[in-house]
Chains A and B, each alone.
Chain A
């Protein structure tokens, strides 16, 4: 499978716990994006990387959210001290410079 892979597919966590999600982009794609999608809504942009550089992070929802892409390949999204309002689908996408914008299947987070 040469698409965008996300792990885990589902995560249930207790409020206050930290969670980390992983995204493996299409190998030749240099851009990687994180989005959040709540029920009935379209995805909402969070942050993106060009290679290992995080070029936009002002749209991260709070300082509890952080993302890394240490070697310009896979990326992780961490949410600290989770709240019930963080329950959503977290989507990763990757692209070449100007085409091939491909999404993964997402990680569904439920905070209880």
Chain B
């Protein structure tokens, strides 16, 4: 089956620095990935997604990189702000039904 995991359970960065959150997946058939941000007591909030026919996708202050060779993806946040403090999840799917398999999350803390 599919497993999706994150490399580090916690990450602390200084305000204004760039953040990189990493994620690995096991199933090479996975063809769609999403990054979510989750604040305490709230549901996951969509950040950015990427399909397996792409290597990179950029949003506002965020970039997702996909390396299919090593089954790894990363989320880069530019100029990290205090409001970026949250748990970040990567999720992947390998079917048209889009049943997502989530990793266990990385707690990002932005230091003043």
Which residues of A pack against B, CB within 8 Å? 4, 6, 31, 33, 35, 40-45, 48, 50, 55-56, 59, 91, 95, 98-99, 101-106, 108
Contacts and interface: CB of A to CB of B under 8 A. Distances in A.
A43 B100 contact: yes
B97 A103 contact: no
Interface of B: 4, 34, 36, 41-46, 49, 89, 91, 96-105
Contact of A56 (B36, B91, B97): B97
B101 A45 contact: yes
B105 A95 contact: no
A15 to B, nearest CB: 24
B87 to A, nearest CB: 9
B100 A55 contact: no
A98 B100 CA distance: 12
Q: Give the secondary structure class of A's interface.
A: strand
Contacts of B34: 101
A56 B43 contact: no
Contacts of A41: 102, 104-105
A55 B44 contact: no
Nearest to A43: B102
Nearest to A95: B98
